[in-house]
Amino acid sequence: MGRSLIPAVLDGTSRLPSAGPLYIESAHGRRKYGWAALSGLLDWPLKFISAPRPEVYHLQSDPHEGRNVAASSDLVSLEGRLRVLRSTVASSARRPSSTEELERLAALGYVGPGTATTEDDDRLLDQDRPDPKERIHALEPLDRGLSALAQQRPRRARRELGQALEHDPDNLAALNNLGILALERGDLERAAKLFARGLARAETSEHLANNLGMVRSRQGRHRQAAEAYRLALAARPGFTAARYNLALALYRLGVPGQALRELERVRTEDPDFPDLDEAVREITAAAADER
């Protein structure tokens, strides 16, 4: 059962209801940029954030979290408390009622106890990654680059995304979008290098894997394309576009029967998927010719 924060908001205080510690987590930076995920606890007035460089704040005397007192705190004890709290949350949290809900929560960065798989929990605990606060300066040029993309200004987008990589050399969003720009220009080798560079940092990035598959397909390297699409589907089984792409790769590899089975799954997931009926007709004819 949750606790309403309305009373704290209405009386203008920053104090939260006192009924034991609150568990906090965010994997948004892990999923989108390749940074370490964050988790922690808030037990008024103490706030602890488990990160490659841990943070501890005393909110009563430091409500704006300007003084990190982790160096003088018992971090071993705090990590132990966090493990217990995480375990408690995992055993009591409501699981999502559908794959669709799970994917929506994961897209928002909620991938910890009660909302995702064991693999996602392991991702939350993986601290062998950049600390978000050490790479935060990449966000401004990254946002400018994404804005330039939306405005169809590719030259500026490349410049800004390149600046983001100067601050954060393994930034997944920058690598992915620079790869897309290279793909659109027909520079397949550069696109492949950018997507592969991102995947080396985050094998569970379904978009990087799918995009790498599209590059390999354009290069005529259909076996490698199929491997990339399978990697995307392993990360997100409901990724219908990747499944459709896998079907086409299998068809080009000369296994139309396998391709048709994947297309039937596409139809189950999205009956109105673009060009689905045409692909089914073409591959069905090819399978009939094989007999």
- Whether residue 68 lies inside any domain: the answer is yes
For residues 89 and 113, give the distance between their C-alpha atoms in angstroms, rounded to a whole number: 6
pLDDT at 4 over 90: no
Per the CB < 8 A criterion, the answer to whether 124 and 26 are in contact is: no
| Cα–Cα nearest to 114, from 131, 100, 96, 97 | 96
Task: Summarize pLDDT for 171-214 with one digit per residue, the tens.
Answer: 999 999 999 999 999 999 999 999 999 999 887 789 999 999 99
For residues 275 and 285, give the distance between their C-alpha atoms in angstroms, rounded to a whole number: 16
- Whether residue 175 lies inside any domain: the answer is no
- Whether residue 101 lies inside any domain: the answer is yes
Task: Summarize pLDDT for 229-250 with one digit per residue, the tens.
Answer: 999 999 999 999 999 999 999 9
- Whether residue 219 lies inside any domain: the answer is no
Contacts of 2 (CB under 8 A, 6+ apart): none
Tokens of 264: 């039937």
Phi, psi (rounded to 5 degrees) for 239: -85, 85
For residues 97 and 100, give the distance between their C-alpha atoms in angstroms, rounded to a whole number: 8
Task: Summarize pLDDT for 137-152 with one digit per residue, the tens.
Answer: 999 999 999 999 999 9
- Whether residue 72 lies inside any domain: the answer is yes
For residues 119 and 135, give the distance between their C-alpha atoms in angstroms, rounded to a whole number: 25
For residues 126 and 120, give the distance between their C-alpha atoms in angstroms, rounded to a whole number: 10
For residues 210 and 234, give the distance between their C-alpha atoms in angstroms, rounded to a whole number: 11
| Cα–Cα nearest to 233, from 249, 252, 254, 253 | 249
- Whether residue 117 lies inside any domain: the answer is yes
Q: What domain count does the chain have?
A: 1
Its domain, for residue 87, covers 6-125
pLDDT of residue 96: 52
Per the CB < 8 A criterion, the answer to whether 176 and 202 are in contact is: no
pLDDT at 120 over 80: no
Exposed e or buried b per residue across 248-269, where buried means at least 16 C-beta atoms within 10 angstroms of its C-beta: bbbbbeebbebbbebbebbeee
- Whether residue 217 lies inside any domain: the answer is no
For residues 55 and 121, give the distance between their C-alpha atoms in angstroms, rounded to a whole number: 21
**In the chain, pLDDT over 90 holds for what percent of residues?**
68
pLDDT of residue 32: 87
- Whether residue 104 lies inside any domain: the answer is yes
